[in-house]
Amino acid sequence: MSKLFPTYARYPFDIVSGHDCYLTDDQATTYLDFTSGIGVCNLGYSNAAVQTAVAQQAQKIWHTSNLYASQLQEDVATLLVGDADKLVFFCNSGTEANEAALKLARKATGKSAVLAFSDSFHGRTYGSLSMTDNPAIQAGFGPLVPEISFAPYNDPAALPQITADLAAVILEVVQGEGGVNPASGAWLKSVAAKCQQEQVLLIIDEVQTGNGRTGQLFAYQHYGLQPDIVTTAKGLANGIPVGALIGNAALATAFNPGSHGTTFGGNKLAMAAAKAVLTQLTPAFLAQVQTKAAYLEQLLQTELAPLATVNGITGLGLMQGIHLTVPVGPVVTALQQEHLLTLSAKHDTLRLLPPLTITTEQLATGVAKIKQVLSK
Ligand SMILES: *Cc1c(COP(=O)(O)O)cnc(C)c1O
CATH of the domain at 291: 3.90.1150.10
**Cβ proximity of 317 and 326 under 8 Å:** no
Q: Which of 280, 312, 327 is the last residue of a domain?
A: 280
- Per-residue pLDDT averaged across 277-300, rounded? 98
Whether residue 252 is found in the same domain as residue 366: no
Nearest to 125 by CA among 154, 153, 151, 100: 100
Q: Could you read off the pLDDT of 203-252 as tens digits, one per residue?
A: 999 999 999 999 999 999 999 999 999 999 999 999 999 999 999 999 99
Tell me the residue type at 129.
L
Q: Which of 280, 310, 340 is the last residue of a domain?
A: 280
Q: Is residue 95 part of an annotated ligand binding site?
A: yes
- Return the axis-axis angle of helices 268-280 and 48-60, rounded to nearest 10°: 150
- Per-residue pLDDT averaged across 111-127, rounded? 98
Whether residue 182 is found in the same domain as residue 241: yes
Whether residue 308 is found in the same domain as residue 356: yes
Ligand 1 centroid to Cα of residue 218, in Å, is 15
The reply to whether 337 falls in a domain is yes
Q: Is residue 207 part of an annotated ligand binding site?
A: yes
**Which one-letter DSSP state was computed for residue 65?**
-
* Residue 243 CA, closest ligand 1 atom number: 7
Ligand 1 centroid to Cα of residue 122, in Å, is 6
Whether residue 54 is found in the same domain as residue 173: yes
**Count of domains for the chain:** 2
The CA distance from 374 to 332, in Å, is 10
**% of the chain surpassing 70 pLDDT:** 100
The CA distance from 35 to 319, in Å, is 10
Q: Could you read off the pLDDT of 56-87 as tens digits, one per residue?
A: 999 999 999 999 999 999 999 999 999 999 99
Q: Could you read off the pLDDT of 140-167 as tens digits, one per residue?
A: 999 999 999 999 999 999 999 999 999 9
The reply to whether 359 falls in a domain is yes
**% of the chain surpassing 90 pLDDT:** 99
Q: Could you read off the pLDDT of 255-275 as tens digits, one per residue?
A: 999 999 999 999 999 999 999
Tell me the residue type at 90.
F
Whether residue 235 is found in the same domain as residue 86: yes
The answer to whether residue 287 scores a pLDDT higher than 90 is: yes
Whether residue 257 is found in the same domain as residue 325: no
Contacts of 74 (CB under 8 A, 6+ apart): none
Q: What is the mean pLDDT of the chain?
A: 98
The answer to whether residue 1 scores a pLDDT higher than 90 is: no
The CATH number assigned to the domain holding 161 equals 3.40.640.10
The reply to whether 5 falls in a domain is no
Whether residue 138 is found in the same domain as residue 231: yes
The answer to whether residue 110 scores a pLDDT higher than 90 is: yes
The CA distance from 245 to 240, in Å, is 17
- Per-residue pLDDT averaged across 28-32, rounded? 98
Whether residue 264 is found in the same domain as residue 293: no
Contacts of 308 (CB under 8 A, 6+ apart): 325
Whether residue 225 is found in the same domain as residue 300: no
Q: How far is CA 92 from CA 39, 173, 203, 375, in A?
A: 16, 22, 18, 41
- What are phi and psi for residue 205, nearest 5 degrees? -85, 105
The answer to whether residue 116 scores a pLDDT higher than 90 is: yes
**Cβ proximity of 222 and 216 under 8 Å:** yes
Ligand 1 centroid to Cα of residue 25, in Å, is 25
The reply to whether 2 falls in a domain is no
Q: Is residue 197 part of an annotated ligand binding site?
A: no
Whether residue 150 is found in the same domain as residue 204: yes
Whether residue 205 is found in the same domain as residue 341: no
Q: What is the residue range of 66's domain?
A: 49-280
Q: Which of 117, 121, 130 to mutate to test the pocket of ligand 1 (most atoms within 8 A of CB)?
A: 121
**Cβ proximity of 147 and 112 under 8 Å:** yes
Whether residue 100 is found in the same domain as residue 174: yes
Q: Which of 246, 280, 314 is the last residue of a domain?
A: 280
The CA distance from 288 to 285, in Å, is 5
Ligand 1 centroid to Cα of residue 105, in Å, is 19
The reply to whether 9 falls in a domain is no
Q: Which residues line ligand 1 at a C-beta cut-off of 6 Å? A: 93-95, 98, 121-123, 172, 176-177, 205, 207-208, 233-234
Ligand 1 centroid to Cα of residue 121, in Å, is 7
The reply to whether 1 falls in a domain is no
